[in-house]
Chain A
């Protein structure tokens, strides 16, 4: 069974840093991209970024609002992906979800069929 468990959320001051984890089971993270999506309070879904599989050189990409502040990495030995968030702003307050694209959907980029439950990040002084 495919499972994603995201964790690491909490309260952080503006300008601070936080690192979220996405522990997966039921598949090998080295063979899959992992995406991060967030939802601010009362707002819609926002794509944050992704890391591709090793077959695509673990390439990363990010949304406009987080580019240059967030990074994504992966530890294949523990089947865990990470979202490192630096220079946090109040508007980064959101529930953060990690997700996995459909395997072999017929394209390099695929929609997300498996999700973590989400972890809340609150940026406040």
Chain B
């Protein structure tokens, strides 16, 4: 299984500030030149919401303050200006190979 490791496990950031969440895969997840890495936002009582795929492609309807970067085994989710509605748990996931493992999650709160 490909292990996905996120850091930090939790963070508290002031409104309007920049947020960075990291994700590291246990092996390269490059498929046909593209990184098979997705980011999800998960709020209590709701299903997860896809934010980013192919490491840096923003899903339709996702605000531009969300962006993804990285390649190979190291990836980053960035929120440029934290909004109240961004409070959630964020997960990375590799879809390069089954099992399509998730990171352990990063809980984001307002400071």
Q: What class of interface size applies to chain B in its complex with A?
A: 20 to 34
Q: A47 to B42, Cβ gap below 8 A?
A: no
Contacts of A49 in B (CB 8 A): 99
Given contacts A44-B91, A62-B99, contact A107 B47 (CB under 8 A): no
A117 within 8 A of B: yes
Contacts of B99 in A (CB 8 A): 47, 49, 61-64
Q: A109 to B105, Cβ gap below 8 A?
A: no
Chain A, 44-102, CB within 8 A of any chain B CB: 44-47, 49-50, 61-64, 97, 99, 101-102
B89 within 8 A of A: yes
Among A45, A61, A106, A113, find the residue whose CB has the most chain B CB atoms closer than 10 A: A45
B66 within 8 A of A: no
A78 CB, min distance to chain B CBs, angstroms? 22
B4 CB, min distance to chain A CBs, angstroms? 10
Binding site for A on B (CB under 8 A): 1, 31-32, 34, 36, 38, 40, 42, 46-48, 50, 53-54, 59, 89, 91, 93, 95-105
The 7 tightest CB contacts between A and B, nearest first, are A115-B47, A111-B38, A61-B98, A44-B105, A63-B99, A111-B53, A45-B102
